[in-house]
Structure 1
Amino acid sequence: MGRPGRRESASGRMAPRAAVRMGSDPVGRLLARFAVPVVAGLLVSRFYILVDGMFVGQALGSAGVAATAIAMPFVTLLNALVMLIGDGGTAVVALRLGAGERQGAASVLGNALVMLLILAVVLGATVLWWADPLLGLAGASGAVLGQAKTYLVVTVLGTFALGFSLGIDTFLRAAGFPNRTLLVQVAGALANIGLDYAFVVAWGWGIAGAAWATVLGQGVSLVVTLALLFKRDMPFRLRVRDLRPDASLMGRIALLGMPSFIVRGSDAALNLVMNALIVGYGAATAIGGDDALAVSGAINRVLQFALVPAIGIAVAARPLVGFNYGAGNRVRVRAIVRVALASGAACLTAVWLLVETDPVLLMGLFGFHGETAAFAAWALRVSLLAMPILMVRITGTNYFQAIGGANKAILLTFCQQVVFLLPFIVAAPLVLPQLTGATPLESVFWGMLASDVASTALVAVFLLRDPALRRA
């Protein structure tokens, strides 16, 4: 007989109790147990992003919000590289734990840490050397350029801490401990919020204060993550030899993390295009290019917060899908996907209705007034129109990533960003003003809405045709 609290896996290896529950507990209860801490952690971390924008807007005005918007594509690219490692490693760990390969999971963690260290060194050197031309390419100039450079350089200096706060902590969830991931996220986000208020509002450090608050908050997450990774009840234990680079394993991590990278990396590229379009078309309106860019940046922060329920549920479902798929339990895989879709869609609909109650008040919290506030409220409402159906797209890409279907996940994310969004936001300002009388600036936001609908429909088709989700 095995020791109390453990059972023999199908392969004869010992599986921890948390892993066994992933394959046997009722799906609704299991997904809730995983999703609640994920959603709670995301709410806290995304609330920080939202509040950070409000602090900057109230303290520095539209120029400060515009500076963070200019720097954001590069910060998003940094996040994309971190999540390539974190999400890819988490997917490999979930599949290995489902197959009973516990020590193989430790090797995944070790190689992910090595990849993060390499990333931190390379990115730090690149940004310190090329910050001015990169931000100039993004359209920054004058005071906005100086503030954007400060924000970007400080943020990149914290790349390794960022890796722990966004990437490595997900290994705790894959190991069957979602509450520990929540602890990491809450600790870092609360530190961020407190430091943000102190640095930006109380002490007047400006944009540098906002960046340093982020980096130091991620440092708190790093310390908490390290402490939790070495607890005795982890199903795998990191050893020095697990840090030995394994090219094939790193390649597997990168492959399964590629969908996450494509989503965020293409977000970065598209943000550059979007910024250029909004500044150009905004310059021809009463609010001007800088205020139009500030509005776009504020809406991005609101959207990140509004999508938390969907992202949290889909992320929580990913290790459950991966574990049960690896164990060959297709019935539970289908049940997990159904519950995730239904619960996420209900949450997104509720959030959409809540934002619709007073978008003017919400946008006013970023320091917008008059015509800028009115345009910001209109643009926010258009940006949220497709929200009730977006759970299909979010669940679909996470599902294919969880089962090791990297090619499908990559294809869907590529189509979402490049096939639909880019052409729509470029073409809409050229076509819609002739057909509807909308301004070119307004047409950019209508193009975003159309791309959301089209990309969601494509993911729905792939889900309906997937063999594992179809009944025999």
Structure 2
Amino acid sequence: MGKNNILKKFIKYVSLNVIGMIGLSFYILADTFFVSKALGSTGLAALNFSISLYSLIHGTGLMIGIGAATSYIFKRSKNNQKDANETFTIAVKIGILIGIIFLIIGQVFSREISFILGADSSTIDYSSTYLKVIFSFAPFFILNNILLAFVRNDSAPKLAMAGMLIGSFSNIILDYIFMFPLKGGMFGAALATGLAPVISIMVLSIHYFNKSNTFNFVKCKLKLKEIKNIFSLGLSSFINEVSSGIVLITFNLVILKISGNIGVAAYGVVANLALIVIAIFTGIAQGIQPLTSRAYGKKDIFELNKILKYSIITSIGLSTLVYLNTFIFSENLINIFNSENNIKLLNIAIKGLRIYFIGFFFTGINIVLTAYFSAIEKSKKAFLISICRGFLIIIPMVIFLSNILGMNGVWLSFVLTDFIVALISVTLLFKNKKFIDK
């Protein structure tokens, strides 16, 4: 494939996925905006305690979807359509099964989980209500991510983008209807978010009945070997997403001791704005996944290197653009969610945004390289990057720095973690390039 054709495909897949993922991030951002208007800082704090568990559901869907879609491409490249269709069927079955388990857990333990996540007497009702409803829709969140991955990999990135955007815009409209005219409060916010993937699935289903569709349901049993393969290929995506939830929980508990519920609410604003930036990098990562997997399947080293180069340049460029806008417009961005004009919340969040967002210069590189390694069957390298970002470094870093520097230490922990992980990622990349070139 010529250089211009590679760039053209890169722009097409990445741009459509970035737009779609930004739309997907509005699932939670819309809740944050409307909850702040309807329920103030108490509602914001309660929402922030709850949404970490959304990352677990979303991450499970990404793991199954991206893992299965990657396996599907490898099998199709070997002209093994029967096994490829079995992969799709098993992915849907296991996704629905895990979704039902989440649903049951949410119905039975939502209040206990809210207490564990840091909710107190003023936030427990809001938090447990949100969790119970979101967990009820877990099968749809997971199935939506599976279909998104398969539709995207089946040469229909525009429809994948449409599904994400239509679901997200529906969420915004329903958020307003349920929370204001119908006065549904936190239940209304969660219900609007839960219905969004249902609407997205309806849009994505169009592809299944299209003549260009290549994946189909077949009769097959759940095969442990195939489930392990799917989980292995998608594990880094799961860790990336779940790490956001774990970081959120850890930060909430640390901030609660330093600045109370107002501090947690301020962090909620920062974290939810950060979701949009993470969505941009995830869009790049998901956009290059089918391109990288196909190039790797053809053993086209030239194309692989070009895709990687374009990805890193795009990531650094967007990081620069995001940080400049965040620094200049930080007060305006925070005031969108500061309906009570709380000065303490504003001051904490402004400083937080300006420090925390420095980390995205390194986050983009880490997310892109994680996706790259997964797509070329180097799942151990992808897992190492993800586990360092999500567990091994960030948790001790935030505990250590917060004890020394207070809130500044909390914000800096994210920056330093992704800087250290970026050094690890780049080292792994150069080692891998030597391996490929041989």
TM-score normalised by L of structure 1 = 0.88
- What amino acid maps onto 2:248 in structure 1? N
Does the aligned pair in 2 maintain the 1:59–1:206 contact within 8 Å?
yes
CA distance, structure 1, for counterparts of residue 227 and residue 272 of structure 2: 32
Distance 1:306 1:268, change over 3 A: closer
Determine if the alignment matches structure 1 residue 296 to structure 2 residue 274.
no
Match in the other structure for 2:222: 245
Q: Which one of 332, 353, 358 corresponds to residue 303 of structure 2?
A: 332
User: Which of 353, 365, 371 matches 1:392?
Assistant: 365
SS at 2:74's partner residue?
Answer: helix
2:425 maps to which of 459, 463, 467: 459
CA shift for structure 1 position 383: 0.7
SS at match of 1:358: helix
Unaligned runs of 5+ in 1: 1-20, 283-288, 434-439
Q: Once the 2 structures are TM-superposed, how far is the Cα of residue 97 of structure 1 from its aligned partner?
A: 2.9
Larger Rg: 1
Residues 402-413 of structure 1: matches in 2 within 5 Å? Answer: 402-413=375-386
Q: Cα deviation per residue 1:269-298 (whole Å; 9 max; x = unaligned)?
A: 33222211010111xxxxxx1111111111
| Helix, strand or coil at the partner of 2:377 | coil
Q: Which structure shows the higher helix fraction?
A: 2
Partner of 1:176: 155
Q: Match of 1:4?
A: none
Change (3 A) 1:183 1:469: farther
2:201 to 211, 217, 222: 222
Alpha-carbon deviations, 1:128-158, whole Å to 9, x = none?
A: 2222222111121223111111100101111
Aligned counterpart, 1:319: 290
Please state whether the residue corresponding to 2:180 is helix, strand or coil.
Answer: helix
Task: For residue 24 of structure 1, report the CA deviation from its aligned partner.
Answer: 9.2
Which residues of structure 2 form unaligned runs of 5+? none
Q: 1:25 to 1:171 in 2, by over 3 A?
A: farther
How far residue 165 of structure 1 moved from its aligned partner, in angstroms, is 2.5
1:352–1:99 distance in 2 versus 1, CA, 3 Å: farther
In structure 1, C-alpha distance between the alignment counterparts of 2:426 and 2:160, rounded to whole Å: 30
Q: For 1:6-405, what aligned pairs fall within 5 Å after superposition?
A: 26-236=5-215, 238-242=216-220, 244-282=221-259, 289-367=260-338, 368-405=341-378
* CA contact 1:111–1:250 (8 Å) conserved in 2: yes
Alignment match, 1:10: none
- Write the letter of the residue equivalent to 1:33: K
Q: CA RMSD in A?
A: 1.9
Aligned to 1:417: 390
Kindly provide the amino acid, as one letter, of the partner of residue 386 in structure 1: G
Q: Aligned AA for 1:460?
A: V
CA contact (8 A) 2:401 2:410 kept: yes
Stretch deviating more after TM superposition (319-328 or 101-110): 101-110
Percent of aligned pairs with the same amino acid? 21
Q: Distance in 2 between matches of 1:201 and 1:349?
A: 37
Contact in 1 for aligned 2:27/2:196 (Cα 8 Å): no
After TM superposition, give the deviation of residue 212 of structure 1 in Å. Answer: 0.4
CA distance in structure 2 between the partners assigned to 1:116 and 1:469 by the alignment: 35
Contact 1:91 1:404 in 2 (8 A): no
Match of 1:437 in 2: none
Residue identity matched to 1:55? F
**Which secondary structure state, in structure 1, belongs to the residue aligned with residue 358 of structure 2?**
coil
Label 1:350 to 1:315 Cα distance change in 2 as closer, same or farther (>3 A): same
Aligned residue number for residue 9 of structure 1? none
Matches of 1:214 and 1:389, distance apart in 2: 30
Look up the SS of the partner of 2:322 in the other structure: helix
SS at match of 1:278: helix
Give how far 1:460 is off.
1.2
Query: How much does 1:25 deviate?
Result: 7.0
Q: C-alpha separation between the residues in 2 aligned to 1:114 and 1:199? A: 32
Contact 1:334/1:469 (CA < 8 Å) preserved in 2?
no
CA distance in 2, matches of 1:116, 1:214: 19
1:450 aligned partner, one-letter code: L
TM-score by length of 2: 0.95
Displacement of 1:49: 2.8
CA offset digits 1:193-240 (Å, max 9, x no partner): 11011112332211111100011111111222223223211123x134
| Aligned equivalents of 1:463, 1:60: Cα separation in 2 | 47
Deviations 1:133-189 (A, max 9, x none): 221111212231111111001011111111133232111111121111112111211
Between the aligned partners of 1:382 and 1:202, the Cα distance in structure 2 is: 38
CA distance in 2, matches of 1:303, 1:427: 22
How many Å apart are 1:414 and its aligned residue?
0.9
